[in-house]
Amino acid sequence: RGPAGRGMAGAAFERRVLRRAAEHHYLRVRLELPDGGARPNAAQFKQLVVTALRELHGEVGAALPVDVLTYEEKTLSAILRVISSGLVKLWSALTLLSFYQNRRCAFRVLQTSPFLLALSGNSRELVLD
Partner 1 sequence: HAALSRRYVLCEVVSEDPRCRQCIEDRTLGLAVRDAIARVHGDYGLACCSISFTVKYLNAYTGTVLLRCRKDSYRLLCSALPFVRYLESRAQRYPCFLNTLHVGGTIRTCQKFLIQYNRTQLLRLLQNCTNEEERQCIQKSLLSCSLTEEQSQSGDEEEDDGTE
By the 8 A CB rule, do 80 and 49 touch? Answer: yes
Q: Rounded to 5 degrees, what are φ and ψ at 50?
A: -65, -35
Closest CB 57 distance from partner 1, rounded Å: 4
> For residues 55 and 112, which CB has a smaller minimum distance to partner 1 in the complex?
55
Spell out the residues 6+ positions from residue 97 whose beta carbon is closer than 8 angstroms to its own.
48, 51, 52, 55, 105, 106, 107
Strand partners, 103: 100
Residues that bind partner 1 (CB under 8 A): 53-61, 92
> For residues 54 and 81, which CB has a smaller minimum distance to partner 1 in the complex?
54
Closest CB 51 distance from partner 1, rounded Å: 11
Give, for 110, the enclosing helix (H) or strand (E): strand 106-113
> For residues 59 and 125, which CB has a smaller minimum distance to partner 1 in the complex?
59
Which pairing describes strands 77-83 and 24-32: parallel, antiparallel, or unpaired?
antiparallel
Closest CB 59 distance from partner 1, rounded Å: 5
DSSP assignment letter at 81: E
Closest CB 53 distance from partner 1, rounded Å: 8
> For residues 56 and 106, which CB has a smaller minimum distance to partner 1 in the complex?
56
